[in-house]
Structure 1
Amino acid sequence: MPRPFVAYLRVYEPLSAFPDASRDRLRHLAEQSPVDRADVGVHEQMMWLKSQENDLAGLPGERADGSPLPVRDLMAVRDEAGELLVCPLDLRARAAAAVVGFLSTASDPLRRATLGGAEERLRAKAGTVLGELPGGAVHVVSTTWTVPLPWFVLVDQEERVVEGEDDTLTVYWLVPMRTARQRVQRAYELAEATFGESGPTKVLQDTSRWLAHFHESSLVELDYGGLVQLLGEDGVDEDTSAEDVNAILDAIEQPDPAEVAERFERLRDFWGDLAVRERMQ
């Protein structure tokens, strides 16, 4: 089964960031049954489909009566000191956020055809779930078919990790939270002065606010997820997106408009191929 064409930003927090009562369970899951990076897209897709078997208003990560299940789906990494950090997939809350987005943007005929008589019940449930979200933020945000260019300010090209091959090929970056916050703040200030409050500036502001919810000793991950299937090994080898985005920031500071234009052109050409594929689906 092809992996969903989804890319991710994730935050892995130390166990000390979680309530005392949940730490032993989180440690056990992280050590015994973490979700693998190459499998996470399909895992999340199957969890959503399973939640819809009996109830259109059901969400993944909850019991038949709608109450939340204990955390059981998470990813795990270790930092340079060997400390275990975990990223709960927060499937129930992320599904609720997706429902709110769908209900606010879809046309009336599409909502009726998709949800039937469950629309209002699902709307109410999604609002309740998001209102009860621990910490005020999910540990994972995702996007389909592309990577928002502002996300690349969080990473350097040299920090990229490429693992596996074919069906298990993965491309990702892991950076310390402090570094990620510093980088996004610098990018935000430059973008605000150059582009104003819209476009990339808004994405950077939202990203900065999201990162502020988590423990300062966390790790931040940018993961291409299933997009590597569209890029292929040749595309991965040719990809210099992180280098190009950070070169744009440097060129804005200098300033060097010609360099900015050249780098934007490279990014447009590279990611434009994926945009064409999406439109053809």
Structure 2
Amino acid sequence: MTGNLYRGQAGLPFSSTLRVYEPLEAFPEEQRPAIQAAGARAASRAAVENAELLASLGRITRSGGDPFPTGRTDLVRVTTAHAQETGAPDGETADDGADAGTGPVLLYCPSQLVLRAGLAANALMEGIHGPLAELLIPEEQRDRHQERIDLVKARDGSSRVHTRASTWGIPFSWFSLFMESDRKEVVEAAGRILTVRVWAPITDALERARYAVANLALAAPDLDMLDDLAQLTEWLELFHVDSMVELDYGAVADKVYPDESPMDIRLGIECLAEGDMTGAAAAYRRLASRWIPIRQLARAS
């Protein structure tokens, strides 16, 4: 399955994601059976990734020209965390029956493709390619998808989106949430790195983001990254305190891993806070040399 996943991504833009996984209790009670069942159906993480990729390619090529997902087959990713990672008290029993004090706790991240597709379409319409987007996605299709979004919001009672995506590189602000010591997984096949995934407890991720915001606000208030970090902090604050945050590099990992970007971001912020402009510039040069070539691929012919 991992081989199929890599071949399916060949020729597509590098896509990386930032996800929040929540305990079952964080979801509305009426949603929990469906989320738990969808998570149980996921034979493996590779199977989920492959199914989502195939579904997206199918939407692009299906008849009728409607590229939007219907939400009928929304996928759910599952990860595990131990009590010391989520902060659950010893001896507490999770909703899935696991002893949160001694064993792994299951955490869930629904794909929410209907909501995310709507947000992506709006961003496209408001961007510099708006006129082209209007030709590619006619108003009738956008209106039809807005009806799906309204149904999802009415059913779920919440518009929290658990996933953020980025193409052709990872936003530097995302790296501020992680440290080198965080749990990670390197997925390889046929001599290539398919992806690297890094996890951090949401409490740790929020503490790191707030530290970065506080220091950048004093040392570099005009830096674009400060606004990105502020928005990221507000987003993370929407989720359950026992959640986990996952950075999924995607296929770009094969170009950059081993990656020291989290360390470079942390050192750069520390140098700015201490007034060490030379050290901050050196950290930025390391980041730029690693990621600017990736971003330039977006404009390569």
Please report the TM-score for the alignment, with normalisation by the length of structure 1.
Answer: 0.84
1:236 pairs, out of 239, 257, 262, with 257
Mark the runs of 5 or more structure 2 residues left unpaired by the alignment. Answer: 1-6, 84-103
Q: In 2, are the aligned partners of 1:10 and 1:222 still within 8 Å (CA)?
A: yes
* Deviations, residues 160-216 of structure 1 (Å, cap 9, x unaligned): 524231366321211111111111111111122222255001100110111111101
Confirm whether residue 138 of structure 1 aligns to residue 155 of structure 2: no
- Provide the rounded CA distance (Å) in 2 between the counterparts of 1:45 and 1:129: 24
Paired AA for residue 203 in structure 1: D
| CA–CA distance in structure 2, aligned partners of residues 280 and 105 of structure 1 | 20
Q: Contact 1:162 / 1:169 at 8 angstroms: preserved in 2?
A: no
| More divergent stretch after superposition (26-35 vs 176-185) | 26-35
Structure 1: distance between partners of 2:35 and 2:47: 21
- Out of 19, 22, 28, the position equivalent to 1:13 is 22
Q: Verify: 1:263 aligned to 2:263, yes or no.
A: no
Point out where structure 1 has 5 or more consecutive residues left out of the alignment: 63-68
Structure 1 residue 30: Cα displacement: 1.7
1:105 lines up with 2:136 in the alignment: no
Query: CA 1:106 to 1:55, structure 2 compared with 1: closer, same or farther past 3 Å?
Result: farther
Secondary structure, counterpart of 2:118 in structure 1:
helix
The aligned residue for residue 174 of structure 1 is 199
On the 8 A contact 2:118/2:146 being kept in 1, the answer is no
Separation in 1, partners of 2:228, 2:130: 28
Equivalents in 2 of 1:142, 1:223: separation in Å? 9
Q: Shift of residue 227 of structure 1?
A: 1.4
State the Cα RMSD in Å. Answer: 2.6
Q: Give SS of 1:164's match.
A: strand
Code of the residue aligned with 1:31 in structure 2: it is A
Stretches of 4+ aligned residues off by more than 6 angstroms: none
> Which one of the candidate residues 162, 172, 179 is aligned to 1:156?
179
In the TM superposition, what are the counterparts of 1:58-137 in structure 2 within 5 Å? 59-62=68-71, 69=72, 72-81=74-83, 82-107=104-129, 109-116=131-138, 118=140, 121=143, 124-125=146-147, 128=150, 132=154, 134-137=157-160
Corresponding residue of 1:218: 243
Deviation at 1:72, TM superposition (A): 3.8
- Return the alpha-carbon distance in structure 1 between the equivalents of residues 289 and 69 of structure 2: 37
* CA distance in 2: counterparts of 1:199 and 1:274, whole angstroms: 20
Identity among equivalent positions (%) equals 24
Give aligned pairs, total: 268
Contact 1:38–1:168, Cα closer than 8 Å, also in 2: no
Show the counterpart of 1:273: 293
